[in-house]
Amino acid sequence: MNWDEIARNWGKLKGPAKQRWAKLGDEQLHAIAGRRALLALRLQETYQISREEAERQLIDWQDSLGAEAQPRRS
């Protein structure tokens, strides 16, 4: 899933984002509104992590969303 899809579907993806980053409040997630740079900034501030670590976490999360969207093979 690319970031444009995440931004378009932010209303549905706020829940999974909240599960991944529980310290982010509902108001923060609402204000982020799917903006990747703002989410990275909030991760840095909230979790006291580097920009590089925030980016790594975003990539991991984005990849996991793509994997969930793929049909399962039996």
- The angle, 0 to 180 degrees and rounded to 10, between the axes of the packed helices 51-69 and 10-20 is 120
8-37 per-position pLDDT tens digit = 999 999 999 999 999 999 999 999 999 999
pLDDT band at 5 (very low <50, low <70, confident <90, very high): very high
40-59 per-position pLDDT tens digit = 999 999 999 999 999 999 99
Radius of gyration of the chain (CA): 12
